[in-house]
A and B are shown apart, each in its own frame.
Chain A
């Protein structure tokens, strides 16, 4: 019976992981930048929702849209005025740059909001429903559903809209896309903006589920990376598959081996994937 609850918990955690990783996977797949400031963007999303709830009493689910928009604009500016300048430098320069941005954003947040633990806590945050032995918390279930909706929305956006097609074109071949009249710099900025916006949404949900601090981002960056990689880079449904896989592996692993092995399991999966099949579960085998 416990086993069932553990699997449900794992799937719900997986939904949250998927939500975190959609943005990172999109940015990585299109611009070839591994955004090490991704966790910091999630953190900014969490604080946006927290302050809107605390100061204006706006419900976290309503402020998802505000959080998305805020981070969208922020991400657009970051890519346009910072990352676009080095995007063709050696790959580790972009890694270094985003790590610098991560430290910078974290420190600004820490100076502005202190390191105190905070949490967005609407009245229903601890509620859930149960059938038999199994309990399902509402907020986690919502995060799960939202991440599925967002993955499909992103799929439709990338396949059907003109901007989406431009993004896919740039991700395949920058020079060819430019010859077709696509503004590459702007497309990169838009991609990063969408990725940041999605990170903001993830942050809003996370802020309801766990404590918020300026330093919370680091672990989310790494987990988003693992999810994006395990699921399959450059695939739209990769984050969903990777998220559910990692969520289940982590929950089942800590249930059977002990909670202190959770990190070892996550990073073990990371290193094994890199060595055995760097293209991930959904990725094609040829490079």
Chain B
């Protein structure tokens, strides 16, 4: 990354960090607050995918399972046990991490396509189970109490996102972080070097599950109603992936940038160009996969940005 773009990015971060906490207080409309809450929830999920898909190199296509689980644990603990929102959220987070460990032990032995589709299948199984067991309200869904103010969601998601980014930054500069990246680059070599790759992968998956479940919990209380087809929708998994990849998978800020830009474009198109919005996600995914497989962050860290960058990308991967 060159000096100028590093400086610009640092500048943007400083401004965001300074302004974000006071945004809702200095007025701004309810619409923007709502929009930002959505962005932050998706940013947490995209970052959650990034840990396992971007850094560890295990592209999960079923991360929505943690989102759904987090939403249901939060909802059930608030409705059935009358536990407060924040404690429920913490319970949900640990449930997400635990579930990641349980499914991770068999599934993380698979590689490539097989891992991707196995996670997709687990998402579908969880949806089917939730639809059929009595205490989850089956297909009817669950209604949560209505919160007094949307500021609660703004600050919870802001704190969760900030905590996630700081946590990730710390992890990545430590032993686990090097282990994770070693697994992505060459798993066999990593094992030869004495890294316990199984533990490393499971830890990464658990981190992913932990934070994605928090996003699910915030979403559940925020939307006040959840049902299995909404919170286990496989499209949500794909949205996480496209946000992370569009921004830059395997970078800390990429998924956050991706979440913001994609949510903004999606919102803008749906209000102004309804027909175009219909084709937005599909088109964006196709274009990103062909032209920007390494994401925006990689594009802006080039010394020179021009057509050559895209042509080079295509030439590299075509047959």
Q: CB within 8 Å of B: which residues of A?
A: 32, 34, 82, 84-97, 99-108, 110-111, 174, 184-185, 188, 218, 222, 225, 229, 260-261, 263-264, 267-268, 270-271, 274-275, 278
Contact = CB atoms under 8 A, between A and B. Distances in A.
A107 B282 CA distance: 8
Interface size on B, as a range, is: 35 or more
Contact of A274 (B117, B124, B275, B316): B117
A275 B110 contact: yes
24 contacts: A85-B318, A86-B318, A90-B59, A91-B113, A93-B289, A93-B317, A95-B116, A96-B241, A99-B285, A100-B285, A100-B289, A103-B235, A105-B282, A107-B278, A111-B278, A174-B319, A184-B319, A222-B120, A260-B131, A264-B128, A267-B121, A271-B121, A271-B122, A274-B107
A133 B114 CA distance: 42
A174 B319 CA distance: 9
A108 B129 contact: no
B114 A278 contact: yes
Nearest to B238: A99
Given A95-B116, A97-B290, A85 B122 contact: no
A61 B59 CA distance: 41
Given A96-B238, A96-B242, A108-B279, 5 more contacts: A89-B317, A100-B288, A107-B278, A222-B124, A271-B122
A85 B290 contact: yes
A261 B132 contact: yes
B103 to A, nearest CB: 9
A246 B289 CA distance: 33
B284 A100 contact: yes
Contacts, number: 140
Contacts of A111: 275, 278
Interface of B: 53, 59, 61, 106-107, 109-110, 112-114, 116-118, 120-122, 124-125, 128-129, 131-132, 234-235, 238, 241-242, 245, 275, 278-279, 281-286, 288-290, 293, 314, 316-319
A101 B118 CA distance: 21
B143 to A, nearest CB: 23
A218 B120 CA distance: 12
Nearest to A258: B132
A264 B59 CA distance: 23
Contact of B121 (A85, A102, A260, A270): A270
Given A95-B59, A96-B238, A264-B132, A274 B114 contact: yes
A101 B317 contact: no
B107 to A, nearest CB: 7
A32 B111 CA distance: 14
Nearest to B139: A260
Contacts of A106: 282
Given A88-B319, A225-B117, A275 B106 contact: yes
B318 A96 contact: no
B130 to A, nearest CB: 11
Contacts of A218: 234
Contacts of A103: 235, 281-282, 285
Given A260-B131, A263-B128, A34 B121 contact: no
A102 B283 CA distance: 10
Nearest to B123: A267
Interface-centre pick from B121, B235, B281 (highest chain A CB count, 10 A): B121
A185 B314 CA distance: 14
A103 B282 CA distance: 5
Nearest to B113: A34
B286 A82 contact: yes
A270 B110 CA distance: 13
A185 B318 CA distance: 9
Contacts of B125: 263-264, 267-268, 271
A23 to B, nearest CB: 17
Nearest to A271: B121
